[in-house]
Structure 1
């Protein structure tokens, strides 16, 4: 839903001044996604399979408000407020631990110089992963995301998929290349060196896309944590009849020397104008103390059918096996609707 000049109208009503209505050019957009699936879920080394209705699915449900104001000279003020929610229970957040504005909540300026924002931002590593795997942001069905951001699947990356207190700058896109950097001070008295920082490059040229991201994480859940360095490098190529994905990711916790290496391959095939086949495999090898290594293989395959430009249905199956444990399978069927 797109509504123009709501703040302008509010100013006019509040002040009864016609001059406010004459020059302010503001837009407000309401948007979001609602999605649910029914799944029989089991992970390797985990509890018995459970049949449940779950909200994250292919995309965690959310809603948001974006407002922009033309400040003249090609510069705009921008503000974004986004909240996760759980349509199966009516709860807010992905879990009860999330703040109300748990997805993005920032304010800033954008123009020919790029975009500078302050507040809560989606983690650049997570955005990079979305660009180079066919299941994009899914914490339940993308093996790459599961093995790096989901604790029950090994969670190699420290911290959440969203960072607080960020100062983020994104450059204009020049010849297909865009750079983004974020610095998030921990805000802890006497601990000025405790912060999170990340930088990324995103390049697109026709059917080819490549991403590279590095980050240092020293704040987890609002508290100081062991310093972890991480990187991601990945690419996609769209042949029209087949799109290929690949990525390499690594982490190292500096105080312990514990590290991980993740390798991922994926594909998507448009079987018809509405139906797509998705497939992805990820392998993570994690080094534990005393050089005891553990490994995990996770694969996913699915069919995604577009009922319209804003609504799709899907079926997905996930295979998972952790070293020292038996294999496990997950099966799901779901629906998503954008607004």
Structure 2
């Protein structure tokens, strides 16, 4: 009898302890589903181009679901994790080259007043600290509004096998650094043969009331090894040894309006040929006509110089209507014009941060006009 009483007491104590730990922990399921119908006037086919109507997924935001958790460890310290899966709502297929948690997968520790150290597959600071100053983030243009093929790493710059420090906010100032390991023996700083990649990134951002600014630098060694984009429209950048990108952005909010400006400088260093540099400038604004209806517009200019040359002009217009806090419908229009040629081939337009959206405009054409009607739901 005495043994049974002791066992019951220990079991009760364990249950109480488990309940207390559970009360200090949380796990949240979240996600976004974005779907709609898109049109473009010129999409490449053999020998030229044709118009294209398509179901397109993840334009305003990439469709995803994820789990994030936090455990209070006491003394201002907490453990946290994120597992985030990308998918295509039209086919149900996994995104990010069929990775189960291709968008994010990391675990870390946070100390109040100091910051967070995290390890796993994570965004670089070009995405963390510069994307908030782009029309791709500020409007429903989303991945049609980000820059060609995301060459400046604003929306999908994820580093595998990385360790990252992000500071707490100090009077509105945050900063951080990231290193992504090559995981190859003798190649801590990256392979010399192109067999492995390494990434480092750092940046800072500051916000004070309606005003905020950000800056970031990211260096990717042999970017093609881990799937980073290394082309601009139809201009192949010839097997890069390094992709280095730096940017500055800012925005200002006044009443129902917000204005933003962004500049990025991306340097391509090929293995065997001369380098090229893309300077991209963007300005834009959105205006809330009502609490539910927002109009937005942005202009982006891309100037490629060096071994490859070209210019691209793009204008985005969007109208977004919130049906609720979690569901909105939107319409958008985008125009892009390419100027110049390389190796006797005219440069082509390519709307979208990934060639999977429309592809380039095809031989004999140098522009794309795109339109879309979509719906987005967050949970």
TM-score by length of 1: 0.86
Match in the other structure for 2:137: 136
Rg larger in 1 or in 2? 2
Indicate the residue corresponding to 2:193 in structure 1: none
Question: How far apart are the structure 2 equivalents of 1:139 and 1:148?
Answer: 13
Counterpart secondary structure, 1:128: helix
List gaps (5 residues or longer) in structure 2. Answer: 1-10, 191-197, 227-238, 340-345, 347-364
Residue 162 (structure 1) aligns with: 158
Decide which of 82, 89, 92 is 2:91's aligned counterpart.
89
**For the aligned residues, what is the CA RMSD?**
2.5
| Pairwise CA distance, 1:111 | 2.1
3-state DSSP of counterpart to 2:291: coil
Paired residues for 1:131-280 under 5 Å: 131-136=132-137, 140-142=143-145, 145-147=146-148, 149=150, 155=151, 160-194=156-190, 195-222=198-225, 225-255=240-270, 256-280=274-298
- Whether the aligned pair in 1 keeps the contact of 2:223 and 2:243 (CA below 8 Å) is no
What is the Cα deviation at residue 80 of structure 1? 0.7
Contact 2:240 2:268 in 1 (8 A): no
Preserved CA contact (<8 Å) 1:43 1:321: no
1:302 aligns with 2:303: no
CA gap 1:270/1:169 in 2 versus in 1, 3 angstroms: same
- Identify the residue that residue 69 of structure 2 maps to in structure 1: 67
Deviation at 1:160, TM superposition (A): 5.0
Give unmatched runs, 5+ long, in structure 1: 1-13, 150-154
Q: CA shift at 1:295, angstroms?
A: 0.8
Is the contact between residue 305 and residue 314 of structure 1 (CA under 8 Å) also seen in structure 2? yes
1:287 aligns with 2:305: yes
Worse-superposed segment, 21-30 or 302-311: 21-30
Q: Note closer, same or farther for the CA distance 1:241–1:156 as it changes in structure 2 (3 Å cut).
A: closer
* Structure 1 residue 128: Cα displacement: 3.1
| Cα shift readout 1:225-264 (whole Å, capped 9, x = no counterpart) | 5122210101000111321110110011245321110010
How many positions carry a matched residue from both structures? 315
How far residue 300 of structure 1 moved from its aligned partner, in angstroms, is: 0.6
- Give 1:181 deviation, angstroms: 1.1
After TM superposition, the structure 1 = structure 2 runs for residues 15-26 of structure 1, keeping only pairs within 5 Å, are: 17-18=14-15, 20-24=17-21, 25-26=24-25
